[in-house]
Chain A
Amino acid sequence: MAEYQIHEYDVLVVGAGGAGLRAAIEASAAGVTTGVVTKSLLGKAHTVMAEGGMAAAMGNVDDRDNWRVHFADTMRGGQYLNNPRMAEIHAKEAPARVKELEAWGAMFDRTKDGRILQRNFGGHRYPRLAHVGDRTGLEMIRTLQDHGVHRGIQFHMETTVVTLLKDGDRCVGTLAYDRERGRFLVFHAKAVVLATGGIGRAYQITSNSWEYTGDGHSLAYHAGAALLDMEFVQFHPTGMVWPPSVRGILVTEGVRGEGGVLRNKEGRRFMFDDIPANYKSQTADNPEEGWRYTQGDKSARRPPELLTRDHVARCINREVKAGRGSPHGGVFLDIAWIKEKLPNSAEHIKKKLPSMYHQFKQLADIDITQEPMEIRPTTHYMMGGVRVDADTQMSGVAGLFAAGECGAGLHGANRLGGNSLSDLLVFGKRAGEYAAQFAKEHSAGALPKDQIDAAARAALEPFERGPSGENPYAIQYELQESMQKLVGIVRREEEMQQALEIIEKLKRRAAKAGVSGNREYNNGWHTALDLSNLLTVSEIVTRAALERKESRGAQFRDDYPEKSEEWGQYNLRIEKAADGSVRVERIPVIPMAEEMKQVVEEQK
C-alpha cells in the first residue's frame, strides 16, 4: 500500500458542519487524537447557511418555556414517529449546548435584560430560537471552527471520503481523496463519526449546496448500517422563485416569525383556510391575534403561517396548483405590510432580517421592506438517516457513529425549524464523546488492503473512459429533474415506479461516466464520484416513499392522502440486502415511556 498516504487517528470525523465540529471538539476534549475531513474549506459547510436560529428551551423571553414543552412540540411536529429518547435528550441538553457557545465567542442577539434573545418559529409554542439576526448558522460554524482550531484537532480540508473501511464487522477508517492533487489518503481510525449533512442535491430545486450528495447516508448503507425514515424529505415552504438562477435559495422562516404573511394572488391569507385539528387550539383565528403573537403578546396564539413546514409547504403547493399563485409560480410572502403597524418598519426589517434584505435586493431587485417576495417550497432537509442509538449515536456498525442531518430519529416525519442547529450541537457532542470512549476501549483494527485497492481502482475509472464517456453533469441534472418531478412534494405510486426505472438507467450511465483532464482539482471527476451516492440515496428515498402508503409529515401521497393509524405504528428501516438490493422493512415505533406520555398529554 505504498501509494497511499496514511493518517492515524483515534477518532475521525467526516464533515465539518455544526455536528462534525462539535463532535471533534468533544472527542479532542476527551483526550484522544482527532482528525476531521471536510469536502470544502473550513467554515463553508452547509451549516453556514442556516438562518433562523437554534431551538433551546431557555425561557429567556417567555418563562413558561421548559424542556417538557420543547419535547412535546418536537414529538407533535414529527407526528410521533420520532425516537422519544432522542427528543427528550435534545430538549433537555440544548440549553447547555447553546450557552457554552457564548463562552467560545458567539455573540447572540440580546434581550433587554442582557440575556440571549429568543424568537418565534414554526411549531414552537414559545419564542425559543437563540439567534443572530438571520445569520445564526454563520455565527455557529465560526464559533465552533475557531474553538476547534485551538484544540489541536487536525483538519483535512477539501478532502472527500470514497468509502468506509471495515475490519470484519467494525469500521476502521476511510479511503478519501484530496481535491487539490487528487491523491488518495487512507484514514485509519478506531472510531468514525459521520456528520455529512443531507441529500438536497438529489433534487433540482434545493436550498442545499453541491456538497449535499448524501455521502454519509450512502457510505453507511454500503458499509452495512441500517437507515431510518428515508421517505421524509423536508421541503421548506419558502425558497426563492425568481429570477431562475436563484430558484431554491432559502428564505428564512424568521420572516414569518417577525410578522411576515403568506398571500395568494387574490391577496388572501390562505393559511387561515386550513388549520389542522391538532394545532387548532394553539393557532390564531384572526390576523390581528397572529400579529400580536409575533410582537410578543403572551396571550395571543401563533398565526397559521407558523404552522409546521410540511403543512405550510403543502398549502402553498395547493394555491399554486389551483391557479392562485404569483406570476412566476409561487405565492407572496409579505413582510413589507408591517409598515401599517410599525413606524420604522423599513429599519426594523433590515435590522431583524439583514441578509434576507441583502439577498433579495442584490439577486432579485426586490426591496423586501417595500414589496412582497415571491416564494415556493424548496428541498431543504433530510429527516431520515443513519439509524443510531439515542444516547451514543452509534450506528449498527461497531465504531461507526452518525450525528446531525445524516443521523435519524430526532425529527420523525417532520423537523421543526430551529431544531436542526440544536440537533447538531446536542448529538454532535454526544457522538464525539462516545466515539472517543469507543476509541479508548478498542485497539486499532486492521486496514483492509483489498478494500482500499478496489475502491481506489473504481474511483479512477472515469479517467480511463475519458471525455468520450458519459458527461457526469448531465447524469446529475437528469436525476435531479426526475426526483423533483416524480418523488417531490406530492407523490404517487406510478410516478415513483417510473422514477425507479429512471434511476436504474442512470446507474448504468453513471457506470460509464468519463472525465477529461487530470486528477488535480477536477470538478468533473468529483461530480462523477458523487453520482454513486446520489443514486443510492435517490433509490432509497423512492423505495421508502413507495412503501409508506399514507400521508404524514413530509410525505404526501396523492394516492393515499390520509394519515393512517396503522402506519403511525411504524418506522421504515432500510438495509442493503445480501444480493445488493434495497431492503425496506417496517419496524414498530419506539414507545414513549409513561412519564413522557404524560408530558405530551399535559402539553396538548
Chain B
Amino acid sequence: MASATFRIWRGDASVGEFRDYTTEISSGMVVLDAVHKIQAEQANDLAVRWNCKAGKCGSCSAEINGRPKLMCMTRLNTLPLDQPVTVEPMKTFPLLKDLVTDVSWNYRVKERIEYIKPRKPDAPDGTWRMYQSDVDRVQEFRKCIECFLCQDVCHVLRDHRLHDKFIGPRFLVHAAALEMNPIDSADRLQDLRESCGIGYCNITKCCTKVCPEEIKITDNAIIPLKERVVDRYYDPLTRLFRVFR
C-alpha cells in the first residue's frame, strides 16, 4: 500500500509547529480520512472539527497546501503526494488548537443582521404564493453551508483584520438571501452601508473562487446589494428628489 506524508499544524494560539506524519493511503481517500487515520493511530489528541464527511455541513474547513478547502471534499489524487501535504487551520479566525479555530465571531455577526419580516400572507391559510423563478436566486444563497472559507480568504478580514467593521462575504450572502426573499419586507440597506461595511468589499472575487457550494458570491449577492445601496444613497437623481421632498 502507498503512503503519504502530511505536514499538520500542531499547537495553540501561543505556540505551535508543523509536524510530519506519514500514513498509509488507499484509493479514493480524502484529506480528512488521512487526518483521521493519523489521529487514531499516531496522534490521539489531534484537534479537528468535522461532522458529515460529505461536503454538507461545512465543519472541516482548513488550508490544504495553502488553499482554503473542505478536508472532506479534497481527494488525495488531486494533490502532489511526492511532497508533504500541508494541512493548517484557517487564518482569519483565532486558533484554538491544531486545526480548530474559534469561529464564534461569525455567529455574533449573524445575530446583528435584521431577521426576516414577512409581509401579509397571500392566502387565508397563512401561506404565500411564490414562483420557482422568484425563488431560484434566493435558493442559490441558501445553499451556503457556513464553512466560512469565504471569510477565511477575504483580504478585508484576513489581512486587514476589519472584523468589527465588515461582516464578510458569508453574511453579505445571508443578507442578500433575506433582501431578495419575495415575502420579506424589512429594509437592510442602511445597515449594509453602515454597520455591515459593504463598501469595504472591492470585488476581488476571492470568496467566489473558494466557495465549495459554487455560489457566485460576488456577482449574484454582493454586487446587487452594492447596487441597491448606491441607488439609495448615491444616485444624483434620488438625492435631488430627497432635497425637494
Question: Which residues of A pack against B, CB within 8 Å?
Answer: 40-46, 48-49, 99, 102-105, 107, 109-110, 113-116, 132-133, 135, 137-139, 142, 146-147, 149-150, 155, 157, 180, 209-211, 242-246, 249-250, 355, 358-359, 362-364, 467, 471-474, 477, 515-518, 520-525, 527
Q: Which listed residue, B126, B129, B144, touches A99 by the CB 8 Å rule?
A: B126
Q: Which listed residue, B44, B115, B127, B183, touches A471 by the CB 8 Å rule?
A: B44
B75 to chain A, nearest CB (A): 7
Report Cα–Cα, A249/B118, bound state, in Å. 37
* B145 interface hit (Cβ, 8 Å): yes
Closest-by-CB residue of B relative to A354 is B143
Instruction: Enumerate chain B residues within 8 angstroms of A132, measured Cβ to Cβ.
Output: 139, 142
With known contacts A44-B59, A521-B47, A139–B142 Cβ distance under 8 A: yes
* B209 interface hit (Cβ, 8 Å): no
Q: Which of B95-103, B151-159, B197-205 contacts A (4 or more CB under 8 A)?
A: B95-103
- Please, could you name 28 A-B residue pairs with CB atoms under 8 Å apart, sorted by A? A40-B57, A44-B59, A49-B52, A103-B183, A105-B115, A109-B135, A110-B135, A114-B128, A114-B129, A132-B142, A137-B56, A180-B102, A209-B50, A243-B26, A243-B28, A244-B26, A245-B29, A245-B33, A250-B54, A359-B55, A477-B40, A515-B45, A516-B45, A521-B98, A522-B47, A523-B46, A524-B39, A524-B44
B100 to chain A, nearest CB (A): 5
* B27 interface hit (Cβ, 8 Å): yes
Instruction: Enumerate chain B residues within 8 angstroms of A105, measured Cβ to Cβ.
Output: 115-116, 177-178, 181, 184
Closest-by-CB residue of A relative to B76 is A245
Report Cα–Cα, A527/B45, bound state, in Å. 10
Q: Which of B80-88, B104-112, B160-168, B222-230 contacts A (4 or more CB under 8 A)?
A: B104-112
Instruction: Enumerate chain B residues within 8 angstroms of A137, measured Cβ to Cβ.
Output: 56
Closest-by-CB residue of A relative to B26 is A244
B37 to chain A, nearest CB (A): 10
The contact size tier of chain B is 35 or more
* B131 interface hit (Cβ, 8 Å): yes
Report Cα–Cα, A138/B144, bound state, in Å. 9
The binding surface of chain B is classed by DSSP as loop
Contact (Cβ within 8 A) B30 A46: no
Question: Which residues of B pack against A, CB within 8 Å?
Answer: 12, 26-30, 33, 39-41, 44-59, 73, 75, 96-98, 100, 102-104, 107, 110-111, 115-116, 118, 121, 125-132, 135, 138-139, 142-146, 177-178, 181, 183-184
B123 to chain A, nearest CB (A): 8
Instruction: Enumerate chain A residues within 8 angstroms of B142, measured Cβ to Cβ.
Output: 107, 132, 138-139, 142
Report Cα–Cα, A578/B62, bound state, in Å. 49
With known contacts A107-B138, A473-B40, A522-B47, A245–B30 Cβ distance under 8 A: yes
Contact (Cβ within 8 A) B49 A244: no
Report Cα–Cα, A102/B135, bound state, in Å. 12
Instruction: Enumerate chain A residues within 8 angstroms of B55, measured Cβ to Cβ.
Output: 355, 358-359, 362
Instruction: Enumerate chain B residues within 8 angstroms of A43, measured Cβ to Cβ.
Output: 57, 146
Closest-by-CB residue of A relative to B72 is A363
Scoring A107, A210, A364, A471 by chain B CB atoms within 10 A of each residue's CB, the highest score goes to A107
Contact (Cβ within 8 A) A107 B127: no
Told that A107-B142, A473-B44, A522-B44 touch, could you supply 10 new A-B pairs with CB distance under 8 A? A102-B183, A109-B135, A110-B131, A132-B142, A150-B111, A209-B51, A244-B26, A246-B28, A364-B28, A523-B46
Contact (Cβ within 8 A) A110 B130: yes
Instruction: Enumerate chain B residues within 8 angstroms of A40, measured Cβ to Cβ.
Output: 49, 51, 57, 59
With known contacts A99-B125, A471-B44, A473-B39, A44–B57 Cβ distance under 8 A: yes
Scoring A244, A472, A515, A523 by chain B CB atoms within 10 A of each residue's CB, the highest score goes to A523
Q: Which listed residue, B54, B131, B181, B183, touches A49 by the CB 8 Å rule?
A: B54
What 6 pairs across the A-B complex have the smallest Cβ distances? A243-B28, A517-B45, A524-B44, A114-B129, A473-B40, A521-B47
Closest-by-CB residue of B relative to A149 is B111
B36 to chain A, nearest CB (A): 9
Instruction: Enumerate chain A residues within 8 angstroms of B107, measured Cβ to Cβ.
Output: 41-42, 149, 155, 157
Closest-by-CB residue of A relative to B98 is A521
Contact (Cβ within 8 A) B132 A520: no
Report Cα–Cα, A414/B101, bound state, in Å. 40
Instruction: Enumerate chain A residues within 8 angstroms of B103, measured Cβ to Cβ.
Output: 41
Report Cα–Cα, A102/B183, bound state, in Å. 9
With known contacts A149-B107, A149-B111, A250-B54, A114–B26 Cβ distance under 8 A: no
Contact (Cβ within 8 A) B129 A115: yes
Contact (Cβ within 8 A) A523 B129: no
With known contacts A110-B130, A515-B44, A49–B56 Cβ distance under 8 A: yes
Closest-by-CB residue of B relative to A362 is B73
Instruction: Enumerate chain A residues within 8 angstroms of B126, measured Cβ to Cβ.
Output: 99, 103
Contact (Cβ within 8 A) B58 A44: yes
Instruction: Enumerate chain A residues within 8 angstroms of B135, measured Cβ to Cβ.
Output: 107, 109-110
Contact (Cβ within 8 A) B97 A521: yes
With known contacts A44-B59, A149-B111, A249-B53, A363–B118 Cβ distance under 8 A: no
Instruction: Enumerate chain A residues within 8 angstroms of B100, measured Cβ to Cβ.
Output: 521
Q: Which listed residue, B97, B121, B143, touches A135 by the CB 8 Å rule?
A: B143
Report Cα–Cα, A504/B234, bound state, in Å. 73
Contact (Cβ within 8 A) B111 A245: no
Closest-by-CB residue of B relative to A250 is B54
Instruction: Enumerate chain A residues within 8 angstroms of B33, measured Cβ to Cβ.
Output: 245
Contact (Cβ within 8 A) B131 A114: yes
Contact (Cβ within 8 A) A244 B28: yes
